[in-house]
Amino acid sequence: MSNSEQQQQQKGRRRKRDDKVVRVTKMAPPPPTPIQDIEDIASSFSEDETQKLRVALLNWYDINRRDLPWRRLNHEGSEEEVERRAYAVWVSEVMLQQTRVQTVISYYNRWMEKWPTIDKLAQASLEEVNEMWAGLGYYRRARFLLEGAKKIVAEEGRIPKVASLLRKIPGIGDYTAGAIASIAFKEVVPVVDGNVVRVIARLKAISANPKDSSTIKRFWKLAAQLVDPLRPGDFNQALMELGATVCTPVNPSCSLCPATESCHALSISRHDNSVAVTDYPIKVVKAKQRHDFSAVCVVELLGAEKMPEGNQSSSRFILVKRPDEGLLAGLWEFPSVSLDGEVNSSTRREKMNRFLKRVFKIDTRKTCSIVLREDIGEFTHIFSHIRLKLYVELLVLHLKEGEKDDLLKSEDSETTTWKCVDGDVLSSTGLTTSVRKVYSMVQKFKERSFPSKQIPAGKRSRMAKKT
């Protein structure tokens, strides 16, 4: 074999070896994408992605947006109309925090009928505002709304037009400031609520803890990149609306989504069966709720009637105002005492008797005659961080002649605010959800126990002896 032939043969063998290497390389799975790359993808939207998402979401919103009362007000119009719209956005956004749209609509309509402008709201009392808010929960929101209105009317007279100034109003945080500024005043600022977090987490397949402050900052940065400069308010509402109606926490309707082309979570889930779009954002384990216990006593003071059946016009009920700070601050409730845990009925009554004597001078053995005292049930009311178990009893009393003037007056009346209200007022007044539930338990108990409007004499004395 000549030298040149030998060289050809060696080249051929090398090529074969190289071919093999190449084939092996081709058949191997692609190397995993470096983590850095994933982070890069998730840290910003490209110019192209941004444009596509703006167009897609605004077109979708123009056709699909829900007809909600606060969206019907004029966008353009006079300064007064824009101001009115800002006020409407503010009220609706505060109501919508933690509450479903369907629930909010009737509250919003009633609120705007009573206080159609910020000036009208600024003249309201906390009592009126709480009453209007009753049942919506998170009563601090209502208090801040009132405080904010009073501050604006006293200082500026007008709602600030930019998010940075709006944030200085009591109760207005980044979210509400962004919503008012972008929707009412067209400032190009983002909003980030739970819906926006969910949509962006899926669009960018972000698996970091959405409650971490660094991740929250990232969501704000990404939302800020997306806001449409010409229609910032509509774009923000489109993003939130998408999260509320299409990109829902469970069972999102990806086939109806205008953002499928840009959605990384959807793309990943199509290539990997073990991944679902609902894996984004990751679910964060909630902090354990505190368990509290409370005894509630519905004290009914009978008038001329001797029986506690039905809603009697001269029957009066005691309501106590909660302290101005803390849970359900400043709201009215039936007399209640907190308990150290799940204690039995007699321990609850002992504690309640001490409270009634100290605050109202109601001594169940001396100053009044007990017509009826009955445990009527228990239920658990869930607050965001507390599970409150309430034991409810009904105590129907006749105040003894001669005691009436002194009764319901005490040393503690300076620290405890209370009032007596008629039964029919109680039925129509704004009460918190748990107080309403207690009152409805009382009414049901009476309907069940006294269908004939008469308590048998024997039963009456047995009931009184139980105390």
List active site positions: 93
Within 10 angstroms of residue 162's Cβ, the number of other Cβ atoms is 13
**205, 265, 407, 426: residue in contact with ligand SF4 (rule CB under 6 A):** 265
- Residue 191 or 203 with smaller CB distance to ligand SF4: 203
| Contact (Cβ atoms closer than 8 angstroms) between residue 372 and residue 456 | no
In the complex, minimum distance from the CB of residue 37 to ligand SF4, in angstroms, rounded to a whole number: 20
Which region, judged by CB under 6 A, interacts with ligand SF4, from 118-126, 251-259, 360-368, 383-391? Answer: 251-259
**89, 247, 295, 392: residue in contact with ligand SF4 (rule CB under 6 A):** 247
Q: Is 246 in the site for ligand SF4 (CB under 6 A)?
A: yes
| DSSP state string for 48-111 | HHHHHHHHHHHHHHHHH----GGGSS-SSS-HHHHHHHHHHHHHHHHHHTTS-HHHHHHHHHHH
In the complex, minimum distance from the CB of residue 199 to ligand SF4, in angstroms, rounded to a whole number: 5
Q: How far is CA 452 from CA 10, 309, 446, 449, 455, in A?
A: 112, 9, 10, 9, 8
In the complex, minimum distance from the CB of residue 87 to ligand SF4, in angstroms, rounded to a whole number: 32
Which region, judged by CB under 6 A, interacts with ligand SF4, from 28-36, 75-83, 260-268, 402-410? Answer: 260-268
In the complex, minimum distance from the CB of residue 48 to ligand SF4, in angstroms, rounded to a whole number: 17
* Residue 329 φ then ψ, to 5°: -55, 130
What is the DSSP code (8-state) at residue 289? P
Q: Residue 59 corresponds to which tokens in the numbers above?
A: 């077109």
Which region, judged by CB under 6 A, interacts with ligand SF4, from 232-240, 246-254, 282-290, 417-425? Answer: 246-254
> What type of residue sits at position 376?
I
In the complex, minimum distance from the CB of residue 210 to ligand SF4, in angstroms, rounded to a whole number: 15
Please tell me the total number of residues recorded for the chain in this structure.
467
d(CA 439, CA 152): 38
Q: DSSP H helical segments within 100-173, as ranges?
A: 101-114, 118-122, 126-133, 140-155, 163-166
Q: How far is CA 36 from the centre of its chain?
A: 37
| Contact (Cβ atoms closer than 8 angstroms) between residue 281 and residue 201 | yes
Q: Residue 276 corresponds to which tokens in the numbers above?
A: 């679902």
d(CA 252, CA 258): 12
Q: Is 407 in the site for ligand SF4 (CB under 6 A)?
A: no
- Residue 257 or 318 with smaller CB distance to ligand SF4: 257
Q: Is 59 in the site for ligand SF4 (CB under 6 A)?
A: no
d(CA 99, CA 315): 35
Q: What track of x and - describes contact with ligand SF4 for positions 190 through 209 (by CB under 6 A)? A: ---------x--xx------
**146, 277, 371, 392: residue in contact with ligand SF4 (rule CB under 6 A):** 277
**88, 146, 183, 257: residue in contact with ligand SF4 (rule CB under 6 A):** 257
Q: Which of 56, 69, 94 lies closest to 246 in space, CA to CA?
A: 56
Which region, judged by CB under 6 A, interacts with ligand SF4, from 122-130, 262-270, 362-370, 441-449? Answer: 262-270
Q: DSSP H helical segments within 361-452, as ranges?
A: 423-428, 433-449
Q: Which of 321, 302, 317, 306 lies closest to 426 in space, CA to CA?
A: 317
Which region, judged by CB under 6 A, interacts with ligand SF4, from 48-56, 75-83, 263-271, 291-299? Answer: 263-271
- Residue 276 or 425 with smaller CB distance to ligand SF4: 276
In the complex, minimum distance from the CB of residue 226 to ligand SF4, in angstroms, rounded to a whole number: 12
| Contact (Cβ atoms closer than 8 angstroms) between residue 216 and residue 209 | no
Q: What track of x and - describes contact with ligand SF4 for positions 149 through 188 (by CB under 6 A)? A: ----------------------------------------
Identify the three-state secondary structure at position 379.
strand
Which region, judged by CB under 6 A, interacts with ligand SF4, from 94-102, 133-141, 250-258, 427-435? Answer: 250-258
In the complex, minimum distance from the CB of residue 67 to ligand SF4, in angstroms, rounded to a whole number: 22
**266, 295, 372, 399: residue in contact with ligand SF4 (rule CB under 6 A):** 266
In the complex, minimum distance from the CB of residue 236 to ligand SF4, in angstroms, rounded to a whole number: 16
Which region, judged by CB under 6 A, interacts with ligand SF4, from 92-100, 187-195, 254-262, 385-393? Answer: 254-262
Task: Please tell me the count of residues contacting ligand SF4 according to CB under 6 A.
Answer: 14
Q: Is 112 in the site for ligand SF4 (CB under 6 A)?
A: no
Q: Residue 219 corresponds to which tokens in the numbers above?
A: 């969501």
- Residue 13 or 66 with smaller CB distance to ligand SF4: 66
d(CA 180, CA 201): 24
Q: DSSP H helical segments within 186-231, as ranges?
A: 194-203, 213-226
- Residue 260 or 433 with smaller CB distance to ligand SF4: 260
Which pairing describes strands 290-301 and 386-399: parallel, antiparallel, or unpaired? parallel
In the complex, minimum distance from the CB of residue 21 to ligand SF4, in angstroms, rounded to a whole number: 41
| Contact (Cβ atoms closer than 8 angstroms) between residue 300 and residue 316 | yes
Residues that bind ligand SF4 (CB under 6 A): 199, 202-203, 246-247, 252, 254, 257, 259-260, 263, 265-266, 277
